[in-house]
Amino acid sequence: MEKQNKPIGFIDSGIGGLSVVDEFLTAMPEAPIVFVADNARCPYGNREPEEIQQFAFEMIDYLISEHDIQLLMIACNTIVSRALDAIIARYPDLPIVDVVSNGAKVAANLTFTEHVSVLATFQTVQSESYVKMINRYHPNLTIEQFAPVEWVPMIEACSVDESLIRNYTDQLSPESDCVVLGCTHYPFILPQLKAVAPDKAFINPAYQTVQEALPLINRELFLGHCQLVLTTGDAAEFADKIKFWLPERDFVVEHVELT
């Protein structure tokens, strides 16, 4: 029987998930990957939980049926916050790694002041997924949350507006020493965040997420190293976004229809 290539699958609402893909390929550059970005319906942050769950199912169904992925990395905090339990129940045989549990673990272990800030989408904040998960690792921490609703559209537009960034960093408590970037779009503006809030330790959950994934991967199932990026939006436009945020990466970018 001919061996089947089994790549690593990634899903997100938009460009943000590529911050996780970038971290993953730094650790395992030879890996074939397939990343699905649902740009046509981005952002997810203000959508209803039922919609988010359905969109996630559509992306995962596609990755399984068309690409036979061996592992799924959910590179979207909003999907994790609103659909993780349903995803695990629907795909019991698929290894799944998520950004929220890993970001929470780092924050719980890193804080000295026992005061942590979370910057995330509205749905992630409303779900309190980070609050619950951080307290699981380190009970009784003080956790504050903010939803910078303008940031995802700003990043999707390949724009950096310092005033929009400061609108939220200026609200961070002086007692908070760690800030979780609870949306995978936000690491793209990490240099600006560090510049306007140099006293904070900003946590990008991608690194820890990748470290969790690596031992679960079977390299013998790699039959090539095609790195495919699929978008439900305009492929040329998405390729331009990748060139803006990740100029050193060379992905194959194509349009995909999920429904």
**Which tokens is 240 given?**
């331009």
Per the rule left: phi > 0, alpha: psi between -120 and 50, beta: everything else, 128 is: left
End-to-end CA distance of the chain: 31
- d(C-alpha 70, C-alpha 72), whole Å: 7
Instruction: Say if residue 259 carries a ligand binding annotation.
Output: no
Please list the residues that pair with 117 across neighbouring strands.
144, 179
Instruction: Say if residue 124 carries a ligand binding annotation.
Output: no
Which residue in the block uniquely carries the two structure tokens 């698929």?
94
Instruction: Say if residue 78 carries a ligand binding annotation.
Output: yes
Which residue in the block uniquely carries the two structure tokens 């309190």?
128
Q: Which residues contact 142 (CB under 8 A, 6 or more apart)?
A: 114, 115, 116, 175
Instruction: Say if residue 184 carries a ligand binding annotation.
Output: yes
- Assess whether 183 carries a catalytic annotation: yes
Instruction: Say if residue 224 carries a ligand binding annotation.
Output: no
Which is the catalytic residue, given 42, 76, 158, 178? 76
Which is the catalytic residue, given 42, 178, 183, 226? 183
- Assess whether 158 carries a catalytic annotation: no
Instruction: Say if residue 168 carries a ligand binding annotation.
Output: no
Instruction: Say if residue 130 carries a ligand binding annotation.
Output: no
Instruction: Say if residue 102 carries a ligand binding annotation.
Output: no
Asked whether the beta carbons of 123 and 78 are under 8 A apart, the reply is yes
- d(C-alpha 56, C-alpha 237), whole Å: 22
Asked whether the beta carbons of 132 and 101 are under 8 A apart, the reply is no
Which residues sit in the known binding site for substrate? Answer: 12-13, 44-45, 77-78, 184-185
* Catalytic residue numbers, as ranges: 76, 183
Which residues sit in the known binding site? Answer: 12-13, 44-45, 77-78, 184-185
